[in-house]
Amino acid sequence: MIIHILTSNEGKFREISKMLQPLDHEVIKEDIPYPEVQAESLKTVVEHGIEWILENDMRPWMKAPDHGFVIDDSGLFIKALKGFPGVYSKYVFFTIGNTGILRLLEEKKDREAVFRTSLMFHTDGRNHYFEGLCRAHIAYQERGRHGFGYDPVFIPIGSELTFAEMDTAQKNTFSHRGKAMESFLEFLISMATNEG
């Protein structure tokens, strides 16, 4: 099948397409912007995203057989900041960035955090939902040059490296998006088995 990944984020596309590589699908990046509603859950954000796209920016292939599209919304939840930035992660990264997050955590010994991904796949007129999470500690300073967003300050449990010190394959083995993608891959495999 042809899987369209709706994102303008090159890093997200790299991670998602890397995980889809072993399966025999064509993967295409699509820059189709949609409004991110200010909601309490990431799941609501992706649900509204898909609804909005189908109503306002439908492309012919979205209804074609053997095509599907994916949208992903992620958020960083920091325990010492009572879950902030959470659903505001995009805006917070854009405004205060990693420097601002490190400043908010100055003097804080509790560095626990979790990254969550909500991923929705739309095919054949239906939505299929997957999620993943990754527990971590926030570093004391930015480290590494790979990845994007909060990667330089995010040290997943089980590693001493930040995501920005890992390559894509390594990050995928730990990450929230990697976990959501594992469930999505299982779904794609079971879909193919049922069809065959």
Q: Which residues are catalytic?
A: 73
Shortest CB 163 distance to ligand IMP, Å: 6
- Tell me how far apart the alpha carbons of residues 41 and 52 are, in angstroms, rounded to a whole number: 17
Shortest CB 133 distance to ligand IMP, Å: 12
Q: Which of 149, 172, 178, 179 binds ligand IMP (CB under 6 A)?
A: 149
Structure tokens at 36: 């991110």
- At residue 154's C-alpha, the angle toward residues 111 and 84, to 5°, is 60
Q: Which of 16, 69, 78, 89 binds ligand IMP (CB under 6 A)?
A: 89
Is residue 147 within 8 A of residue 140, CB to CB? The reply is no
Shortest CB 151 distance to ligand IMP, Å: 4
Shortest CB 94 distance to ligand IMP, Å: 7
Q: 74 or 123, CB closer to ligand IMP?
A: 74
**Which residue's beta carbon is nearest to the bound ligand IMP?**
149
Query: Does 184 interact with ligand IMP (rule: CB under 6 A)?
Result: no
Cis peptide before 33 (omega within 30 of 0): no
Tell me the window of 62-70, 125-133, 141-149, 183-191 that interacts with ligand IMP (CB under 6 A): 141-149
Query: Does 165 interact with ligand IMP (rule: CB under 6 A)?
Result: no
Structure tokens at 16: 């998602």
Is residue 83 within 8 A of residue 77, CB to CB? The reply is yes
Chain residues 27-86 in contact with ligand IMP, contact rule CB under 6 A:
72-75
Tell me the window of 17-25, 50-58, 146-154, 180-188 that interacts with ligand IMP (CB under 6 A): 146-154
Q: Which of 84, 129, 148, 187 binds ligand IMP (CB under 6 A)?
A: 148
- Residues lying near ligand IMP in the complex (CB under 6 A) are found at 9, 72-75, 89-90, 93, 147-151, 163, 175, 177
